[in-house]
Amino acid sequence: MLLKKLLGKHILLMIGGVALLTAVWIVAYFCVGNDLLLPSFGETVKDFFLLWIDGAFWSALGVTLLRVLSAFVLSFALAVLTAVLSYLYPSFRAFFAPILAVLRSMPVLAVLLIILVWTNDGVAPVIVAFLSLYPILYTQTLTAICGVDNKLLQMSKAYRVPMSVQITKLYIPTVAPALIKACGLALGFGVKLTVSAEVLARSKHSLGVLMQDARGFDLPQLFALVIVACVLGFVIEYAFVCVAERMQRGKK
Amino acid sequence: MKLCITKRYREKCVFDGFALEIPDGEVTCILGASGVGKTTLLHCLAGLTPFEGEIDGKTENVGFVFQEPRLLPFLTVEENLTYVGANEDEIRTALETLEISAYAKRYPDTLSGGEQQRVALARAIVKKPPLLLLDEPFSSLDLPLKLRLLSAFKTLYQSYTPTVVFVTHDIDEALSIGQRIVVLKDGKAVYSARVTPCTYGENTTEKQSVLQAITQ
Amino acid sequence: MKKLACIIAGFTLCSACGFVACTKNTDITVYAPDGAPALALAKLLKDDTKDDGVTYRIVNPQTVTTMVTYKDENKNADLCVLPLTDATQYLGDKDDYKLLGVVTHGNLYIISQDQTQVTDVSAFSGEEIGVLQLQKTPGQVFKSILQKNGVADVTLTNITGGGEVGALSNVKYYVLAEPAVTAQKGKGFHIVGNVQTLYGGENGFPQAVLVAKSSVIEENPAFIKEFVRDVQSSATWLATATGEEIVSAVSSHTENGYQTTLKAQLLQPQTLARCGVYFTQAKDAKTEIEGFLQDVSAIDEHITVIPNDGFYCLTDFNA
């Protein structure tokens, strides 16, 4: 009942999906027949749970999450600022468009190699994540702000509602659900991107470097760490989406 | 209130030196075909659109009832009235006038279309604005509901007799509440007359005159 | 009509399966990783006529160990060159494979843009060092050296190849393997230390080994003896071979589009000499191997298997 409440009425289908993935893994394991190419599902699950009682894992997880959060906060703050400017000043939006296009199309993981030269392995993943998250958050924020109902804005103008009240009572509540959803998606994506960048940059004390280390001798642990990253991204994204959907409905 | 305005939209001139006198404290109904500029006139009065010319009268504090309720969906009825700057007493009075006190804590999406329009009416008069503008507020409602809301409008008008400019394309609606009827055509008032409000749908000589003015 | 179509389809399928079964490769398969271990088989690769019943494959070093760990024995390589620690960890407590001998004895060097030679390990104190494959033999050896000399305050950073040399800020020294070391001279790096010498053994340390299936050894003793002797003479041949010959031999035996990282212009005699390529048979290398495994297991918790005598093929191939 609680699971159904948390995950929605399609819980059985979702469990079915996970079961299918597991079945595919088990079949593939027996077909491949080489533990160094594909570890067993059982060993991986065991390692997954063992990770959570390992202090080094928690330390690495904390550092990685701190990187994700830093990149997110920076990109969110700049995204909101530039989106508001673009909304208020079409000339700014036009001026900013080519810069945004470059950021959007940049192959950030390749750019990581350049960034590593200028900075270090601790900061580079943050910058890479920032460069990826910022265009997404900017676009989502601007779309959300432009999505404020023009009719409500007109009504506000007719009643001479002060701008501060419009911002707090109209703009923010309208924009919040979409923005929160976008934040969830961005954070989920940020986890994946940051871990990938940490693997490439070999950032010390991180999930990425744990994965690099596991690659040598412990494939089940490597798979378990990948599952951790996936679960983390999913949980963060889902939590934000749930909050956003609750906000979208007025209370009865 | 006197106005003399010129309003152009790109190449189209809606009003060119259009002059109109709106008696204070009375209900002036504006009639005319679609696209003649009825809504534009209201928007000029409300300051929602720029225009050339001048309006001599108080237009800083207006109540505006749109065709749709235009309530903020994430605020309760009470909070929607707070949004336009009303205090608790004003809100209580307005809700009582429209007989919707029971809706105070409810959200708009739990109300029917007619109930939401009542709330919009309450919002329009909650601060007792001297100028009340209504832009076809009951056009999307069925007849029984329309009649109920017309009755509610009369109640709220009588509560403090503001200057009302009521735009509609429904002649019966205009004649049931209006004290002055103005028919617009080609940017001009082709008919303007004082009338006595009658029963909705009643066939009067004024109705014939208005019809004639519209169809000519 | 439908019945006939089914019969024809079934017959075709059976024939195809039979054809595949009949044409299944029964050659003896030999796998080796790219790099210095591939040099150990260079002469055999050069002389390979491709119809002598032996198939050679040079593979990505990241994947060579997977060639001996399939559950289906038929998929595993008959002979394989692989890192010693992988060989003992994955094969040392089983009877499927035996160790024939050591093919490379350490090809690790310390390079730096500072030309000051390092003769004392304490010179690394407080430094950050980029180490090739930190989790594997190079890293294990270097950590062992630091531990034996009581140098603790060293930061080790993993690098995966010569391309990352010079890319890490704050790193003064890199531990890299030949022939990649020679390639760094163009970036202004010089050899300032010999890991083999620092480790302490005059013969370096056992880095890559040759293993063979126990069944192949039992059923083909003459072949194994000849193969081992060819590997011994291959090491001697390297001293006179040209870089082009070596690279041609290796690159003609890669598979699945893999391209060798060996560059002909880098395979000069001095470089080849530093690759530590010479064969020591298991009978003579056993003590050295056990000593090395004890050293690395003390500093690497992943090394848990110290093989018993049964893992070593103690035949004297020179008799």
Q: A69 or B56: which carries more pLDDT confidence?
A: A69
Q: Which of C199, C230, C260 is the last residue of a domain?
A: C199
Whose tokens are 């069925």? That residue is B142
A151 vs B66: CB contact, 8 Å cut-off? yes
Cα of C162 to nearest chain A Cα, Å: 15
Q: Which two tokens stand for residue A200?
A: 């490439």
pLDDT recorded at residue A1? 55
The proportion of chain C whose per-residue pLDDT surpasses 90, expressed as a percent, equals 59
> Residue A118 and residue A124: Cα distance in Å, rounded?
9
The proportion of chain C whose per-residue pLDDT surpasses 70, expressed as a percent, equals 93
Q: How many domains does chain C have?
A: 2
Comparing A47-51, A210-214, B171-175, C300-304, which segment has the lowest mean pLDDT? C300-304
Q: Is residue C88 part of a domain?
A: yes
* B21 touches A at CB < 8 Å: no
List subunits contacting chain B, requiring 3 or more Cβ pairs under 8 Å: A
* C228 and C97 part of one domain: yes
* A28 touches C at CB < 8 Å: no
> Is pLDDT of A63 > 70?
yes
* C101 and C211 part of one domain: yes
> Residue A157 and residue A160: Cα distance in Å, rounded?
5
What is the overall mean pLDDT for chain A? 90
Cβ within 8 Å of A, B 112-131 = 123
Residues in B closer than 8 angstroms to A175, CB to CB, are none
Cα of A84 to nearest chain B Cα, Å: 21
Comparing CB atoms, the residue among C65, C72, C136 nearest residue A36 is C65
User: Prior bond to B162 cis, omega within 30?
Assistant: no
* C73 and C219 part of one domain: yes
pLDDT recorded at residue C223? 94
Cα of A83 to nearest chain B Cα, Å: 23
> Is pLDDT of A132 > 80?
yes
Identify the band that residue C193 occupies on the pLDDT scale cut at 50, 70 and 90. Answer: very high
A151 vs B46: CB contact, 8 Å cut-off? no
Domain annotation for chain B: domains and CATH numbers? 2-61+130-215 (3.40.50.300), 72-128 (no CATH)
**Amino acid at position C62, single letter:** Q
Residue A164 burial (CB count, 10 A): 8
- Nearest residue in A to B110, CA atom: A252
For the stretch A30-46, pLDDT in tens is: 999 999 999 999 999 99
Residue B32 per-residue DSSP state: E
C135 vs A37: CB contact, 8 Å cut-off? no
pLDDT recorded at residue C12? 61
For the stretch B10-22, pLDDT in tens is: 788 888 888 888 9
How many whole angstroms from its chain centre is CA C24?
28
Q: Which two tokens stand for residue A67?
A: 């990187």
A252 vs B107: CB contact, 8 Å cut-off? yes
Q: B199 or A152: which carries more pLDDT confidence?
A: A152
Whose tokens are 């959570």? That residue is A52
- Nearest residue in C to A203, CA atom: C157
A215 vs C69: CB contact, 8 Å cut-off? no
Identify the band that residue C20 occupies on the pLDDT scale cut at 50, 70 and 90. Answer: very low
Q: Is residue C319 part of a domain?
A: no
Q: Point out the residues of chain B with pLDDT beneath 50.
A: none
B201: left (phi over 0), alpha (psi -120 to 50) or beta: left
- Spatial neighbors of A134 by CB under 8 A, at least 6 apart, are A74, A75, A78, A79, A103
Residues in A closer than 8 angstroms to B83, CB to CB, are 156, 159, 161, 165, 169-170
Q: Which of C168, C199, C230 is the last residue of a domain?
A: C199
Residues in B closer than 8 angstroms to A170, CB to CB, are 72, 83
- Nearest residue in A to B85, CA atom: A161
A217 vs C89: CB contact, 8 Å cut-off? yes
* C185 and C235 part of one domain: no
Q: Which two tokens stand for residue C58?
A: 């040079």
* C249 and C216 part of one domain: yes
* A244 touches B at CB < 8 Å: no
Residue C292 burial (CB count, 10 A): 26
- How far from each other are the two terminal CA atoms of chain B, in whole angstroms? 28
Average of per-residue pLDDT across A129-148:
95
> Residue C111 and residue C173: Cα distance in Å, rounded?
6
Q: Is residue C168 part of a domain?
A: yes
Q: Give the pairing type, strands B188-194 and B180-185.
A: antiparallel
Whose tokens are 């003769």? That residue is C119
> Residue B168 and residue B210: Cα distance in Å, rounded?
13
Average of per-residue pLDDT across C233-250:
92
Cα of A18 to nearest chain C Cα, Å: 27
* A155 touches B at CB < 8 Å: yes
Decide: B134 and B162 in contact? Cβ < 8 Å: no
* A43 touches C at CB < 8 Å: no
> Residue A93 and residue C105: Cα distance in Å, rounded?
64
Q: Which two tokens stand for residue A235?
A: 């949980």
* B183 touches A at CB < 8 Å: no
A216 vs C169: CB contact, 8 Å cut-off? no
- Nearest residue in B to A250, CA atom: B74
* B94 touches A at CB < 8 Å: no
* C283 and C304 part of one domain: yes
* A118 touches C at CB < 8 Å: no
Q: Is residue C251 part of a domain?
A: yes
CB pairs under 8 A between A and C: 38
**Amino acid at position A69, single letter:** L
A155 vs B107: CB contact, 8 Å cut-off? no
Q: Is residue C118 part of a domain?
A: yes
3-state secondary structure of B16: strand
* C255 and C307 part of one domain: yes
- Spatial neighbors of C128 by CB under 8 A, at least 6 apart, are C154, C155, C156, C157, C168, C170, C171, C172
Whose tokens are 């056990």? That residue is C290
* A36 touches C at CB < 8 Å: yes
Decide: C49 and A177 in contact? Cβ < 8 Å: no
* C95 and C242 part of one domain: yes
> Is pLDDT of A8 > 70?
no
* B104 touches A at CB < 8 Å: no
State pTM to two decimals.
0.79
pLDDT recorded at residue C318? 82
For the stretch A159-203, pLDDT in tens is: 999 999 999 999 999 999 999 999 999 999 999 999 999 988 888
C74: containing domain: 26-105+206-311
* C305 and C237 part of one domain: yes
* C135 and C274 part of one domain: no
* C169 touches A at CB < 8 Å: yes
Helix H, strand E, coil C: the string for C239-251 is CCCCHHHHHHHHH
Q: Which of C149, C169, C199 is the last residue of a domain?
A: C199
Comparing CB atoms, the residue among A155, A247, A251 nearest residue B66 is A155
Q: Give the pairing type, strands B163-167 and B131-135.
A: parallel
* Sequence-distant contacts of C268-274: CB under 8 A, at least 24 apart: C268/C182, C268/C243, C269/C239, C271/C178, C271/C179, C271/C181, C271/C182, C272/C39, C272/C179, C272/C238, C272/C239, C273/C239, C274/C107, C274/C109, C274/C178, C274/C181
Identify the band that residue A252 occupies on the pLDDT scale cut at 50, 70 and 90. Answer: very low
Q: Is residue C141 part of a domain?
A: yes
Decide: C217 and C301 in contact? Cβ < 8 Å: no
* C65 touches A at CB < 8 Å: yes
For the stretch C28-65, pLDDT in tens is: 999 999 988 999 999 999 999 877 889 999 999 889 99
> Residue B54 and residue B169: Cα distance in Å, rounded?
26
Helix H, strand E, coil C: the string for chain C is CHHHHHHHHHHHHHHHHHHHHHCCCCCEEEEEECCHHHHHCHHHHHHCCCCCCEEEEEECCCCHHHHHCECCHHHCCCEEEEEHHHHHHHHCCCCCEEEEEEEECCCEEEEECCCCCCCCHHHHCCCEEEEECCCCHHHHHHHHHHHHCCCCCCEEEEECCHHHCCCCCCEEEEEEECCHHHHHHHHCCEEEEEHHHHHCCCCCCCCEEEEEEHHHHHHCHHHHHHHHHHHHHHHHHHCCCCHHHHHHHHHCCECCCCCCCCCHHHCCHHHHHCCCEEEEEHHHHHHHHHHHHHHHHHHCCCCCCCCCHHHECCCCCCC
Q: Is residue C296 part of a domain?
A: yes
pLDDT recorded at residue B111? 95
Q: Is residue C19 part of a domain?
A: no
* C163 and C32 part of one domain: no
The proportion of chain A whose per-residue pLDDT surpasses 70, expressed as a percent, equals 94
Average of per-residue pLDDT across C300-316:
88
pLDDT recorded at residue A251? 41
* C91 and C216 part of one domain: yes
B63 vs A159: CB contact, 8 Å cut-off? yes
- Nearest residue in C to A120, CA atom: C169
C-alpha dist (Å) from residue A40 to A25, A143, C59, C81, C192 = 8, 45, 25, 26, 45
> Residue C285 and residue C104: Cα distance in Å, rounded?
12
The residues with which B63 forms a beta bridge, in sequence order, are B132
A213 vs C302: CB contact, 8 Å cut-off? no
- Spatial neighbors of C190 by CB under 8 A, at least 6 apart, are C111, C112, C113, C115
Q: Can you give the CATH number for the domain in which C134 is found?
A: 3.40.190.10
HSE toward the beta carbon, residue B68, CA cutoff 13 A = 11
> Is pLDDT of A131 > 60?
yes
Residues in A closer than 8 angstroms to C135, CB to CB, are 212-213, 215-217
Cα of B210 to nearest chain A Cα, Å: 30
ipTM above 0.90, yes or no: yes
* B62 touches A at CB < 8 Å: yes
The residues with which C81 forms a beta bridge, in sequence order, are C210
